[in-house]
């Protein structure tokens, strides 16, 4: 019998964080290869979390891991699914397990332009052409947000270098300009009901979220998209959605 356990990650992976989470990606990849798996994450806080919490969290999850491994032999419950487990801090005060859905929690980000031309400490460097600067900013924002979350810090600095060449068909110097920004995570937004993993952590529960190898599309969304696109393009509607 084989099972892939990804984690324990130092930092929760709830809501939209699951799309950029390494442990969730590892568990999903294992499932796609036909191997039962789960992702484990601990809501790590510098002033409240300790290494003993990791040991306690691992022992706490052993019954679930063993039962999931047994179930994988019969495919009774977890066939085509893997479990995303998020554990609260302080872990010694957890209230037990709660089954949850993937929520929509995400960090609310505020950007501040830094006037100094000197690179601030801890920046990430990205060189892109001028047309790709906004894409680079979005990519760095996601990376910075993940880094800030992992380090339990609300702010990170990044550096973007804009490289602009001369107009087409002409010769001239290439101009470079560096821009420095400070990213601040002001709050977490997006969830407000008891069904999400983020709310379960807030309430002190260990959240258990079943996920699949792909993102399912809501039937109502597919219907509305069909009606919208059908108003200006020709669509194949021979197959039911």
Segment holding 198, helix H or strand E: helix 197-202
Mean pLDDT on 35-51: 92
Q: Which of 75-84, 105-114, 188-197, 219-228 has the highest mean pLDDT?
A: 75-84
What is each CA distance from 154 to 87, 134, 171, 179, 216, in whole angstroms? 21, 22, 45, 20, 32
Per-residue pLDDT tens digits for 94-137: 999 999 999 887 777 788 887 765 555 544 444 433 334 444 44
pLDDT reported for residue 33: 94
What does residue 143 show for φ and ψ, rounded to 5 degrees?
Answer: -65, -45
Task: Kindly report the CATH class assigned to 4-104+191-220.
Answer: alpha beta
Confidence of residue 227 (pLDDT cuts 50, 70, 90): confident
pLDDT reported for residue 191: 65
54 contacts: CB under 8 Å, gap ≥ 6: 8, 42
Q: Is the dihedral of CA 69, 73, 77, 78 positive or negative?
A: positive
Q: What is the number of other CB atoms lying within 10 angstroms of the CB of residue 57?
A: 24
Separation of alpha carbons 66 and 61, rounded Å: 9
pTM attached to this predicted model: 0.69
Q: Which two tokens stand for residue 82?
A: 């893997």
Quote the mean pLDDT of the chain.
78
Q: Where are the domains positioned within the chain?
A: 4-104+191-220, 106-189
pLDDT: which is higher, 213 or 222: 213
Mean pLDDT on 36-43: 96
Per-residue pLDDT tens digits for 170-211: 666 676 777 777 878 766 676 666 789 989 999 999 999 999
Place of tokens 């039937």: 219
Long-range contact set of residues 48-53: C-beta below 8 Å, sequence gap at least 24 = 48/89, 48/90, 49/10, 49/89, 49/90, 49/91, 53/89, 53/90, 53/91, 53/92
Q: Is the pLDDT of residue 140 over 60?
A: no
Segment holding 97, helix H or strand E: strand 97-99
Q: Which of 18-22, 102-106, 110-114, 163-167 has the highest mean pLDDT?
A: 18-22
């Amino acid at each position: 019998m084989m099972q892939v356990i990804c984690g324990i990650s130092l930092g929760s992976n709830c809501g939209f964080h699951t799309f950029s989470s390494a442990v969730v990606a590892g568990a999903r990849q294992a499932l796609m290869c036909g191997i039962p798996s789960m992702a484990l994450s601990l809501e790590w806080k510098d002033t409240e979390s300790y290494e003993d919490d990791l040991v306690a969290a691992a022992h706490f999850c052993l019954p679930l891991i063993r039962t999931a491994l047994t179930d994988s032999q019969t495919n009774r419950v977890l066939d085509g699914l893997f479990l995303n487990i998020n554990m609260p801090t302080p872990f010694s005060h957890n209230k037990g397990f709660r089954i949850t859905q993937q929520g929509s929690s995400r960090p609310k980000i505020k950007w501040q332009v830094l006037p100094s031309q000197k690179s601030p400490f801890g920046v990430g460097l990205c060189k892109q052409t001028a047309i790709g600067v906004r894409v680079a900013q979005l990519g760095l924002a996601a990376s910075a947000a993940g880094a800030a979350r992992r380090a339990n810090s609300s702010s990170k600095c990044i550096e973007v270098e804009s490289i602009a060449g001369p107009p087409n068909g002409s010769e001239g110097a290439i101009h470079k300009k560096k821009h420095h920004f400070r990213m601040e995570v002001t709050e977490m937004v997006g969830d407000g009901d008891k069904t999400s993993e983020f709310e379960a952590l807030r309430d002190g529960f260990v959240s258990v979220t079943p996920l699949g190898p792909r993102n399912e599309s809501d039937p109502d969304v597919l219907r509305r998209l069909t009606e919208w696109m059908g108003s200006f393009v020709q669509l194949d509607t021979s197959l039911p959605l």
